[in-house]
Amino acid sequence: MPKPSRISHTLSFADVFGALGAGWRDFRAAPLYGMFFGGIYAGAGILLYLLLSYYRSVWLILPLAIGFPLIGPFVAAGLYEISRRLARREQLWWGEILTVTIRQSRREFGWMAFVVLFILWVWMYQVRLLVAFFMGYKGFASLDGFIVALTGQSGLTFLAIGTVIGAALSFVLFCSTVIAMPMLLHRDVDFITALITSWRTVFENLAPMILFGLIVALLTFLALIPLFLGLIVVLPVLGHATWHLYVASRHIEDRPS
């Protein structure tokens, strides 16, 4: 079996749409696996909503719903493995798929989880800080009350600044994970090498990668609207697509010899 090539490949818009199409095909080829991972994600979102409702902090569901997908790349590790096996026409086994993330701990995969969760923490902290600064922290008891507060001048300012900060954090996370996460799964490289490679790939293919990031953001947002349930399909499709974009970006022939 030939070793993966390390030659980089300039991405095009066609590669982006090709990766999305391949992601959909992988989901259709192994729907139970995809829906399992997507279902865990959607279930966690629903549980989070119920907990916030119980503690009368349901207004936090908006920033959490926006920030919650930030942990998607880490959750998608099993999906990368599924796509890798499908491309090589290997058998899919539940036990191996479910433990793939744990096995990656020896390959510095855990450091990426730290980066992802840290950015999520920064996002939530700055949201609470901006709410306190612009609207006065009142501990909104209902989501409706929070939405009404957003329609005022202070609320609109909060939305504008929060959107800019959120976009910046999302871009940092996207650059840090979009190539690094599948690379850590696929190759025995260190965390720093994967991180640098991910950033370099994004900036060397800025327009196609930004397009991919925008598509991911849009589809994820739409998937959140029906109480996170859309993630059951959207998350696995995007996870598979990310793997195929990685393969395209590194010009790796990942097929059976």
pLDDT in tens, 157-177: 877 888 888 888 889 989 998
Confidence tier at 246 by pLDDT (50, 70, 90): very high
Confidence tier at 238 by pLDDT (50, 70, 90): very high
Q: Is residue 6 part of a domain?
A: no
Q: Is residue 164 part of a domain?
A: yes
Q: Is residue 76 part of a domain?
A: yes
Q: What percent of the chain has pLDDT over 90?
A: 30
Confidence tier at 30 by pLDDT (50, 70, 90): very high
Closest to 9 (Cα-Cα) out of 215, 207, 190, 205: 205
Q: Is residue 256 part of a domain?
A: no
Residues 6+ apart with CB under 8 A from 43: 228
pLDDT at 147: 66
Domain span at 132 = 13-250
Q: Which residues of 100-137 are buried (b: 16+ CB within 10 A; e: fewer)?
A: bbeebeebbbebbbebbeebbebbbebbeebbeebbee
Confidence tier at 4 by pLDDT (50, 70, 90): very low
Residue 181 and residue 83 in contact, taking contact as beta carbons nearer than 8 Å: no
What are all long-range contacts of 99-104, with beta carbons under 8 Å and residues at least 24 apart? 100/185, 101/74, 101/77, 104/77, 104/184, 104/185
pLDDT at 1: 40
Q: Among 73-77, 151-155, 188-192, which is the least confidently predicted range?
A: 73-77
Q: Is the pLDDT of residue 2 over 50?
A: no
Residue 63 and residue 146 in contact, taking contact as beta carbons nearer than 8 Å: no
Q: Is the pLDDT of residue 49 over 80?
A: no
Of the CA atoms within 13 Å of residue 220, those in its CB half-sphere come to 22
More reliable by pLDDT, 205 or 217: 205
Mean pLDDT, residues 114-140 taken together: 75
Mean pLDDT, residues 111-138 taken together: 76
Instruction: Report the C-alpha gap between 77 and 105 in whole angstroms.
Output: 12
Q: Is residue 245 part of a domain?
A: yes
Q: Is residue 80 part of a domain?
A: yes
Q: Is residue 30 part of a domain?
A: yes
Question: What is the number of domains present in the chain?
Answer: 1
Average pLDDT, the chain: 80
More reliable by pLDDT, 9 or 223: 223
Confidence tier at 140 by pLDDT (50, 70, 90): low
Q: Is the pLDDT of residue 232 over 80?
A: yes
Q: Is the pLDDT of residue 237 over 70?
A: yes
More reliable by pLDDT, 141 or 26: 26
Q: Is the pLDDT of residue 144 over 50?
A: yes
Closest to 176 (Cα-Cα) out of 152, 197, 205, 162: 197
Confidence tier at 255 by pLDDT (50, 70, 90): very low
